[in-house]
């Protein structure tokens, strides 16, 4: 049986990156390969549930960059000694056959206001070494925006980068499910008939996802649309810092904030509009999920999943992250039913019909082309 090693420093679920790692590992296990996932911080049960073997690497180092380098070095020694047939990295190791990249920290640093230098001096240093040393056979990018940044920033051969949009759970996220549960979900959230519910749902990192832009737009909208309701979802160390941006106490008290949930599809069912005004989102699984539910969506111009809308991309993208511009677009969608229905139709037209197996099969074909499996 051929052996596959996967390196990912942190694997604890509830993020798009975790979903990609686990779904692809599951696919490879079902293909008959022995898959071993090497991590520092991980949920062993998540790994075992997909049929892979969890292996721990404890890096040395007093600081983050030192720990990252230690993780990479330890992993490289293990795979060389144990002779794996395929080595996959997720942005944490320098030398691998296949690198999956989940973030482009240098571009993020340029786009996010007041972004600290920490990420470009730590994870950015690893990424720079991956592409400048060029010890990989193929990079899987989850958007054209990501590929373009890698090619232009590091002068990488474009033929070594393949854009593959992530898959989706088509049973969990569907218009049928939303239609069946719309009123039930709204009742559970105590949303009255006639109220218009706008949601920003993410795994976390409110700074990157433009939660400040969203809530400042809410300040404008609250004065113009009295029946607007707001749902904010995502894990954040100091959510109150963002909630305090709301000027009207009545609005602030009515905002539904949920740190995390394992039933995000129920929240999608209740929404009238999904927004993601991220300063940058390399793809955004949550966008694809909202689209599959038939929701109208509004996206920042640097959200990778907006590429799914092809020639109609500009209909869902607002060009400026100024709160007044977002407020104007949200108001248009909420008050113009025909326009909202138009965006719903576009979401369904361009939502991916590819499930996670389809995603992994596309990548698997690339492995075979390269003679790796």
* pLDDT tens digit sequence for 43-89: 999 999 999 999 999 999 889 999 999 999 999 999 999 999 999 99
Do 254 and 290 share a structural domain?
Answer: yes
Do 156 and 41 share a structural domain?
Answer: yes
269: closest CA among 298, 294, 305, 287? 294
| Alpha-carbon distances, residue 355 vs 23, 124, 351 (angstroms) | 10, 31, 11
Count the domains in the chain: 2
Do 236 and 254 share a structural domain?
Answer: yes
| pLDDT tier for residue 251 given thresholds of 50, 70 and 90 | confident
What is the reported pTM?
0.94
Give the C-alpha separation, 23 to 30, whole Å: 11
Residue 61 sits in a domain whose CATH number is: 3.40.50.2000
Mean residue pLDDT of the chain comes to: 95
DSSP assignment of 63-89 equals: SHHHHHHHHHHHHHHHHHHHT-SEEEE
Do 308 and 263 share a structural domain?
Answer: yes
Which residue matches tokens 């990420």?
Answer: 119
Residue 84's pLDDT is: 96
Do 363 and 309 share a structural domain?
Answer: no
* The two structure tokens encoding residue 351: 């939502």
Q: Which helix (H) or strand (E) holds 299?
A: strand 297-300
- Spatial CB neighbours of 3, under 8 Å, sequence gap ≥ 6: 33, 34, 36, 82, 83, 84, 85, 86
Which residue matches tokens 């909420």?
Answer: 334
What does the pLDDT look like over 136-163, one tens digit per residue? Answer: 999 999 999 999 999 999 999 999 999 9
Residue 14's pLDDT is: 80
Domain that holds residue 200: 175-350
Model confidence at 249: pLDDT above 90: no
Strands (E), 33-137: 34-39, 41-42, 53-56, 86-89, 98-100
Do 361 and 316 share a structural domain?
Answer: no
Other Cβ atoms closer than 10 A to 201 = 22
H helices of 260-322, in order, are 264-270, 285-292, 313-316
* The two structure tokens encoding residue 102: 């989940």
Do 208 and 120 share a structural domain?
Answer: no
Residue 214's pLDDT is: 97
* The two structure tokens encoding residue 269: 């069912």
Asked if 184 and 302 touch (Cβ cutoff 8 Å), the reply is no
């Amino acid at each position: 049986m051929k052996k596959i090693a996967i390196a990912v420093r942190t694997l604890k679920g509830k993020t798009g990156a975790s979903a990609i790692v686990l779904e692809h590992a599951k696919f490879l296990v079902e293909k008959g390969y022995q898959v071993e996932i090497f991590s520092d911080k991980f949920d062993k049960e998540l790994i075992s549930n997909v049929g892979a073997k969890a292996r721990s690497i404890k890096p040395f180092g007093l600081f983050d960059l030192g720990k990252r380098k230690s993780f990479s070095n330890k992993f490289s020694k293990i795979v060389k000694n144990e002779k794996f047939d395929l080595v996959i990295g997720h942005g944490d190791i320098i030398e691998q056959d296949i690198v999956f990249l989940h973030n482009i920290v240098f571009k993020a640093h340029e786009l996010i206001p007041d972004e600290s230098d920490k990420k470009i001096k730590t994870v950015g240093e690893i990424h720079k070494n991956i592409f400048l040393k060029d010890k990989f056979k193929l990079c899987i990018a989850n958007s054209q925006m990501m590929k373009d940044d890698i090619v232009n920033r590091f002068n990488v051969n474009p033929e070594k980068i393949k854009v593959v949009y992530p898959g989706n759970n088509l049973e969990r996220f569907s218009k049928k499910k939303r239609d069946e549960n719309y009123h039930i979900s709204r009742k559970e959230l105590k949303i009255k008939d006639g109220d218009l519910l706008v949601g920003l749902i993410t795994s976390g990192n409110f700074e990157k996802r433009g939660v400040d832009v969203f809530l400042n737009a809410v300040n404008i909208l609250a004065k113009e649309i009295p029946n607007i309701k707001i749902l904010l979802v995502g894990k954040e160390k100091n959510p109150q810092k963002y909630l305090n941006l709301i000027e009207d106490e009545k609005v602030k008290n009515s905002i539904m904030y949920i740190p995390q949930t394992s039933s995000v599809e129920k929240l999608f069912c209740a929404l009238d509009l999904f927004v993601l005004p991220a300063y940058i989102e390399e793809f955004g699984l949550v966008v694809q999920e909202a689209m599959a539910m038939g929701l109208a969506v509004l996206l920042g111009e640097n959200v990778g999943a907006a590429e799914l809308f092809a020639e109609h991309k500009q209909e869902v993208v607002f060009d400026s992250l100024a709160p007044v511009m977002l407020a104007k677009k949200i108001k248009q969608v909420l008050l113009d039913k025909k326009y909202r229905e138009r965006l719903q139709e576009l979401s369904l037209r361009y939502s991916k019909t590819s499930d996670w197996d389809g995603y992994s099969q596309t990548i698997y074909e690339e492995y075979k082309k390269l003679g790796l499996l």
